[in-house]
Amino acid sequence: MTGWYLMRATGIVSLVLFTLVTVLGIATAARLGPRRGPRFVTLGLHRSMSLLAVVFIGIHVTTAILDPYAHVSALAAIVPFTARWRPLAVGLGTVSLDLVAALIVTSLLRRHLSLRVWRGVHLLAYVSWPVAVWHTIGAGSDWSSGWARAIVTGCVASVLLAALYRLPRPGRLPKHLAAQVRP
């Protein structure tokens, strides 16, 4: 039973950390940083939180495989939609995990890849995060409780607000594009 609780707890913590990593990634891409101090602080925090998120995701997946009540095989943790229990929800978690694995591999090989390739693969984070949210909603046994819904809602709101802030506004567009937007 301890494994079940550990799996649930690390799942929620993983989502919160993954959300923070996504928000920090958006902030880094927008070149936002602390008002006082260098911008590399945001990048360093993004990298550190990413590593912590990967650790918790690893614990979450491992406990799901080891827990006899979860019915998640090692194959289902790697190959999407092969789980016996809630194959869609678990499969979405697997898709998110596979995308995160691609992010990790390309980040580790970044100096050997072109910036264009690395960025292209890194954009998968914008797919992986919402898929992880849907996994949480579909597979999370705590979804019916108010606290779990509040955490997921807070995560979604955080990423949406960061993404909305990142969207171009007329005052932030290059001159040639801003002229087309103004009335």
Task: In whole angstroms, give the CA distance from residue 20 to residue 22.
Answer: 5
How many other C-beta atoms can be found within 10 angstroms of the C-beta atom of residue 176? 7
Number of domains comprising the chain: 1
- Per the structure, the complete domain to which residue 13 belongs is given by 2-181
Q: Which residues contact 142 (CB under 8 A, 6 or more apart)?
A: 8, 12, 148
What is the chain's mean pLDDT, rounded? Answer: 87
Rounded to two decimals, the pTM is 0.84
Q: Name the pLDDT band for 158 (thresholds 50, 70, 90).
A: very high
Q: Name the pLDDT band for 34 (thresholds 50, 70, 90).
A: low
Is pLDDT above 60 for 178? no
